[in-house]
Amino acid sequence: MLKLLARDGVLRRIIESAAAAPSIHNTQPWRFTVVADDLLHVEADQDRALWVSDPLARALYLSCGAALFNIKTAIRMTGFNPLVWPLPDPEHAPTVVAAVQAEPGRPPAFAERELYEAIWRRHTDRNPFTSEPISGSVVVALERAAGLEFATLRMLTTSEAAIVLDLAAKASTELARDVAHTIELQRWIATNSSREGIPAEALPSTPRRDPAPVRGDLSAASPAIARPSADYEESPQLAVLTTARDEPADWLRAGQALQRVLLTATAHGVSASFLYQSIELRDMRGDEAPAWPFPETPQMVVRLGYGGQPAATPRRPLEDVLTRLADARLT
């Protein structure tokens, strides 16, 4: 096996790609360790876990899964194939969510290059979308993207979307009333940090009517930030990303599927944001929270449509997320 990670410039680009992935509230709960010059570990950064709102670590695994997909995509740009061991055996530290190696492969295809280029253009858009429907061909491409990562993306009908939108609005209200949740959220919302969190300019506009397809609890965590009011789309185009089971391996798999879906959407000019709050509330409250109203295991609700140019969110510097062990000598 050729030692791809021994090339410092290649390694830097791979880790920069991973760090560009989306994460819950832009917590970026990951670290990457070069264990040897042919082995990379993807690790969960527990100092960035949300212990109140993410007690099961679902969102943490989703976030790390998105970063893992970007690593795989970046490795393909070198002409190598990524070999991934998700949730490796117990001899590894419990924070290691995946081990990655690379083996020589074929040159990247055009579609793979499109996904890689989309990594740098993808940004979560929490502002209003137009009413333009997503074409059937794009929907098929998004569904196929999820399927390639062993997950399912299902577009919701108008009536189903209305049910999910109401569920999300009620969850936002409940979360906004939870003092511990709000305090935890304040670390990450409108912090003016150049490294992490959601900056004020990337927060959603204030909807003029409810329910709106945005997280209301973000505003509750940053009441001093004045946001312009806006009319959000009357019939949001929502999709639910699901897995067959609901265990950590499924959450990691869903994160990879979510990122492939998001990059595919970006490549087709489609914007996206998330309505995760009802799933989050369920993890926090258990059976006391409203159940998902359909016969499937949801991992993320994605709002899709055509928007403008959303504000970018900051990223941690490379030295904060990358560790090289002593026996991993780079040239």
- 73-104 residue pLDDT tens: 999 999 999 999 999 877 788 899 999 999 99
What is the mean pLDDT of the segment spanning 301-322?
95
Q: What is the mean pLDDT of residues 130-145?
A: 97
CATH number of 136-305: 3.40.109.10
What does the pLDDT read at residue 326? Answer: 58
Cα 220 to Cα 10: distance, rounded to the nearest angstrom: 42
**Is the pLDDT reported for residue 258 higher than 80?**
yes
**Residue 2, pLDDT above cutoff 60:** no
Task: Point out the least confidently predicted range of 11-15, 182-186, 191-195.
Answer: 191-195
pLDDT tens, position by position, 235-245? 999 999 999 99
pTM: 0.96
Whether 130 has a pLDDT exceeding 70, the answer reads yes
Chain segment 103-118, per-residue pLDDT in tens: 999 999 999 999 999 9
% of residues, the chain, pLDDT over 90: 86
Asked if the model's pLDDT at residue 38 lies above 90, the reply is: no
pLDDT at residue 166 is higher than 60: yes
pLDDT of residue 3: 75
Q: Which of 135-149, 210-224, 276-290, 311-325 has the lowest mean pLDDT?
A: 210-224
| Over residues 129-155, mean pLDDT | 98
pLDDT 10s digits, 275-303? 999 999 999 999 999 999 999 999 999 99
DSSP 49-109: --TTT-TT-HHHHHHHHHHHHHHHHHHHTTTEEEEEEES--TTS-TTEEEEEEEEE-PPPP
Average per-residue pLDDT for the chain: 94
Identical topology for domains 4-122+316-324 and 136-305: yes
Query: What Rg, from alpha-carbon coordinates, does the chain have?
Result: 19
The CATH classification number of 4-122+316-324 equals 3.40.109.10
Measured CA to CA, the distance from residue 155 to residue 263 in angstroms comes to: 17
Q: What is the pLDDT of residue 144?
A: 98
| Average pLDDT estimate for 182-190 | 93
CA distance 146 to 254: 8
Who contacts 177 (Cβ-Cβ below 8 Å, separation ≥6)? none
The answer to whether residue 330 scores a pLDDT higher than 50 is no
Q: Where are the domains of the chain?
A: 4-122+316-324, 136-305
Question: Would you tell me how many other CB atoms lie within 10 Å of the CB of residue 172?
Answer: 25
